[in-house]
Amino acid sequence: MTLGLLGRVAATLALAMVTVVPVQARDGSLESQFDSAFGTQVRAPRDFTGVLAPKPVNSALEQQLAELARGTDGRIGVAALDLTSGEEVAILGDQRFPMASTSKIAIVATFMAGVEQGRWTLDSQFPLRVPVPSKPFSSAVAPTRAGSYLPARELIELAITRSSNTAADALLAAVGGPTAVDTFVHNAGIMEFNLTRSIATLVRDDGAINPAYQIDVRDSATPRAMVQLVSAIYQGKMLSPESRAVIVGAMERCRTGKTRLKALLPSDAVVAHKTGTLNNTASDVGIVTTPDGHQIAMAIYVTGNGGHAGRNAKIASLSRAIYDGYLQSSPSRQYASATYPAATQTQ
């Protein structure tokens, strides 16, 4: 690797060397009380000029990803796992990022575990949880009211394919709230995952923290943890084949994020994914299956980086680089060149 590339990699990976500082309660607000209760925030340096030593990269693919993840005004976290070879790559893979709606994968998985336990069925009906207007941080949990009752299978479809918040909160209420989801995920050995609030609360109180420079453990996960989650679901380690089919099938029908993870992938690649979007952050998590049946788990979290379109473009470019990088690592596969077009800048 050239010295120039080393410098650019250093600039990207300097964000891994962040300073942990105590959270101070700035006032008597409920938000400040939450900050104090959750202990720390991590503030990343705004100077990305590479003054900190780079974290070593383990492969040519990681070097390429580090270069692509060299963003502006923000952090970018990437993790990917080749489910056939076990090869893993990561950039800031162990740093926390806001899950946003990617957490809905875990909510649905927890619900499906309840189906397997006989607590309910996919035909059981639950009410949509419709937000009631309230001021930000005015309560620990944003108030909601019961909406239309829908069968669970329809709630799952809405939560995953259209990222419906009211459907996701219906399922979250059914399973027992965020603590139940945390318990299910942690029991699978995935510890760097924390669901703290309902989706309605998360959306109402969004914007208090800038994820480009601050890390809040609430409703966060590491890219590596999310790769572990989707891999465990896909490989049948957490749920039955029937439950897996429900979740993965919905993820394959996902309608959101057309300019993200799947935007630059070949048309014959099968993408099962879930997007997430909040203040100054965008993400996409899923499983990509190549035409020869090879599976790659990916989790990409982008903050800052030039607004909504810029974040989407970063996700698309990183996804294609991972796809081509894994294909190139196996000489038995014959695919097109790794050269690919620039990501579109429109949603």
Per domain, the residue ranges of the chain are: 60-328
Spell 10-37 as b/e; 16+ CB within 10 A means b: bbbbbbbebeeeebeeeeeeebbebbee
What pLDDT does residue 161 have?
98
What pLDDT does residue 26 have?
37
Please say whether the beta carbons of 320 and 105 come within 8 A: no
Share the mean pLDDT of the chain. 83
What pLDDT does residue 59 have?
81
Determine how many CB atoms are found less than 10 A away from the CB of residue 130: 16
Residue whose token pair is 């005004």: 73
pLDDT at 330 over 60: no
Cα 49 to Cα 38: distance, rounded to the nearest angstrom: 31
What pLDDT does residue 110 have?
98
The region that residue 317 occupies, defined by phi over 0 for left and psi between -120 and 50 for alpha, beta otherwise, is alpha
The answer to whether the predicted template modeling score (pTM) of the entire model surpasses 0.85 is no
Residue 50 pLDDT grade (very low, low, confident, very high; cuts 50, 70, 90): very low
pLDDT at 262 over 60: yes
Residue 327 pLDDT grade (very low, low, confident, very high; cuts 50, 70, 90): confident
Average pLDDT rounded to a whole number, residues 17-30? 37
Element (H, E) at 128: strand 125-131
| Amino acid at position 140, single letter | A
Q: What is the maximum span of the chain, computed from C-alpha positions, in angstroms?
A: 62
Architecture field, domain 60-328: 3-Layer(aba) Sandwich (3.40)
Among the listed residues 209, 224, 236, the one whose alpha carbon sits nearest the alpha carbon of residue 285: 224
pLDDT at 137 over 90: yes
Please say whether the beta carbons of 284 and 322 come within 8 A: no
Cα 267 to Cα 26: distance, rounded to the nearest angstrom: 51
Residue 246 pLDDT grade (very low, low, confident, very high; cuts 50, 70, 90): very high
Q: What is the percent of the chain where pLDDT is above 90?
A: 73
Among the listed residues 258, 265, 273, the one whose alpha carbon sits nearest the alpha carbon of residue 347: 258
